[in-house]
Amino acid sequence: MGRFIALLILVIPGVIAGYGIKLMRDTIFQLLNSPFPNLTLQFFSGLILFGICLTFIGGFIFYRDRKNGKIAPRFQKK
């Protein structure tokens, strides 16, 4: 059960990051999605979604590896 919850914790931000990439791609091809009034706002919303989710996934993996002792000595807790 714990592994399934951990998988969900990683899949949900992954899907949101994918949506952020889709928003940025649509901006490059000049496709405006409905909740956004202009392409600039759509691009930066996608960039923010992608950045936040990527940071969350990276932090989750870093925390897990630190707990298991699989990181470089300079990142270990003192």
Q: pLDDT digit string (tens) for 25-75?
A: 999 999 999 999 999 999 999 999 999 999 999 999 999 999 999 999 999
- List the domain boundaries for the chain: 2-72
Residue 12, phi then psi, degrees to nearest 5: -60, -50
* Orientation of helix 2-28 relative to helix 39-68, angle to 10°: 150
CB 39 within 8 Å of CB 32: yes
The rounded Cα 23 to chain-centroid distance in angstroms is 14
Burial of residue 46 (CB within 10 Å: 0-12, 13-18, 19+) is buried
pTM: 0.87
